[in-house]
Amino acid sequence: MADITSSESRFDGGLLQLIGWSLLGMFITGITLGIAYPWAVVMVYGWEVRHTVIDGRRLRFDGSAIGLFGNWIKWLLLTFITLGIYGFWLGIAVKRWKTKHTHFAD
């Protein structure tokens, strides 16, 4: 049986920090009428990843808002062209992009 204490997984972020980052992300998205949504996603998700430890190893996120913005435009166009059908896959596309840019820090 594996030693659980040596492979600790945890999240060390705080509730007030999460509320602050989320409010800032919503504010930025609202002020720009949704154009800055990729920046808000990168900002909030980056905070979550920086405070996550899996099996004793901290995570890091190397995605950029510019990188997500290009994909976001492409995905929105696909959603428009398919009369909204691609929208069902939009959440999965964003999760895949986030996962592609999430790594162990060490």
pLDDT value, residue 9: 93
pTM: 0.82
**Per-chain mean pLDDT for the chain:** 91
Question: For the residues 86-102, what does the mean pLDDT come to?
Answer: 94
59: three-class secondary structure by DSSP: strand
Q: Express each pLDDT in 57-86 by its tens digit.
A: 999 999 999 999 999 999 989 999 999 999
Where do the domains of the chain lie?
12-104
Lowest-confidence range among 4-8, 11-15, 17-21, 45-49? 4-8
Question: For the residues 25-38, what does the mean pLDDT come to?
Answer: 92
Q: Indicate the pLDDT class of residue 2, thresholds 50, 70 and 90.
A: very low
Q: Which residue in the block uniquely carries the two structure tokens 């997500």? A: 68
Q: Which residue in the block uniquely carries the two structure tokens 């049986």? A: 1
Q: Indicate the pLDDT class of residue 24, thresholds 50, 70 and 90.
A: very high
- DSSP assignments along 4-33, one per residue: GGGG--EE---HHHHHHHHHHHHHHHHHTT
DSSP character at residue 56? T
Whole-number Cα distances in Å, 25 to 7, 51, 58: 33, 18, 24
30/25 Cα distance (integer angstroms): 9
Tally of CA atoms within 13 A in the half-sphere of 106 that contains its CB: 6
